Structure 1
């Protein structure tokens, strides 16, 4: 039988997998087979953005979505495929094959326990291709292992920053200054989450225009301060609060349809 949304949770703690016991999870699985996995990256976000931006935002959106829906949320996978950012201090990257193996193993762990619908809320564009490949591999592994859930196992990638309502609002707020990396929209969410980041913000020179992405040396040459066409100084904490809520509401409908699908 397809799962349905359990209903809004009283608090974010109530839907954090890390705060449940194994009997709690067993009881949860009796009525809902869905779970949310936040996926981010630990990489530079220009001279004023937090290195943890992609992980911080993915986790925040996932927890907001979890509280709205009552669906469990796993701890964030904070390391992604960020090889092209390794020219900037603080970036920590997984190679594509490593990320594929990590996401495959996480999906298989959850499928082994009976989870049938795994929604990955992603905060980093560099994770997209590899994560989809991991899903394809996991379907084959589940079948070859004879897992009971194999015929019903479904995985979906939800890139919160690409949700239609989020992209439209970002363009309304920032226009062409949104850019493609270290964007004011994602920086705004981090400013809402962490007051300490507000003091890092300052006016910056004109950014390098958006363009190709290759290896770390080439990226550093094309985008000397790490930004791609973006003006993060436009970000405001109140924008971040709005964008966070917009993302969670947009993904809630997607999650409901995902759980209900056969």
Structure 2
């Protein structure tokens, strides 16, 4: 059930039976020579939709631009400053909390978002805790946020190891590229890469990233990606994350 595809009476009815909502968040950034710029947002959105279909959960609009300053050396990449992303997440959560949503299950598709999302959650909790001291009513009782990275589902990890082994890497991975191709098979770009497995290592800013990883990959070989593998990975992610959602939503 996608929030933007229902009416307000349907949202009102949903809130009589559930206070949970799935919040997909990703990024718009380079993903190597054959990965889509929207990979992280596409992956998060597809998994979130699958969770909604499997559990009946409401699914919020995808936050498609994240904290990706280190990818700005590659055309098409976009970024929000950490402070901007914190404000966006807080405003979205607090807007929905006004209507009665209380459990916010973030499905994340971009590792660069993790620190900022964690800080955003702290800002939300601080706002609720400090409301009485500021003279404002505490009008968001028991709001809870949880961050889950779709690729950390145990089913996904097992499958990616089976399919790709050490060629999975950490950026522009064959798993994430495959998943986007499953969603958009017409956009698949099979190719042979040289070197097959990209170098690994750390980085600082965008210029340093581009110098160290000139084609955008880190430790990966997305030349192994396929639509068929993407379909298997998507189903594995949905099964794993839906179970996580259902378990968490039952907690007091």
* Number of the residue aligned with 1:115: 101
* Number of the residue aligned with 1:161: 151
Q: TM-score, normalised by structure 2?
A: 0.95
Mapped partners of 1:84, 1:196: distance in 2: 29
* Number of the residue aligned with 2:59: 73
Count of aligned positions: 246
Mapped partners of 1:56, 1:172: distance in 2: 23
Q: Which runs of 5+ in 1 are unaligned?
A: 1-14
**Cα gap change, 1:20 to 1:142, in 2 (>3 Å):** farther
Q: Which runs of 5+ in 2 are unaligned?
A: none
Report the 3-state secondary structure (helix = DSSP H, G, I; strand = E; otherwise coil) of the residue aligned with 2:106.
Answer: strand
* Number of the residue aligned with 2:191: 202
* Number of the residue aligned with 2:30: 44
Report the 3-state secondary structure (helix = DSSP H, G, I; strand = E; otherwise coil) of the residue aligned with 1:134.
Answer: helix
Q: CA deviation at 1:147?
A: 3.9
The answer as to whether partners of 2:179 and 2:231 remain within 8 angstroms in 1 is yes
Mapped partners of 1:185, 1:208: distance in 2: 15
Report the 3-state secondary structure (helix = DSSP H, G, I; strand = E; otherwise coil) of the residue aligned with 2:73.
Answer: coil
Mapped partners of 1:127, 1:117: distance in 2: 19
Say what the alpha-carbon RMSD is for the aligned residues: 1.1
**Cα gap change, 1:115 to 1:160, in 2 (>3 Å):** same
Deviations 1:13-39 (A, max 9, x none): xx0100111111111101100000100
Mapped partners of 2:203, 2:50: distance in 1: 31
The answer as to whether partners of 2:198 and 2:221 remain within 8 angstroms in 1 is no
* Number of the residue aligned with 2:225: 235
Q: TM-score, normalised by structure 1?
A: 0.91
* Matching residue within 171, 174, 181 for 1:191: 181
* Number of the residue aligned with 1:31: 17
* Number of the residue aligned with 1:245: 235
The answer as to whether partners of 1:112 and 1:147 remain within 8 angstroms in 2 is no
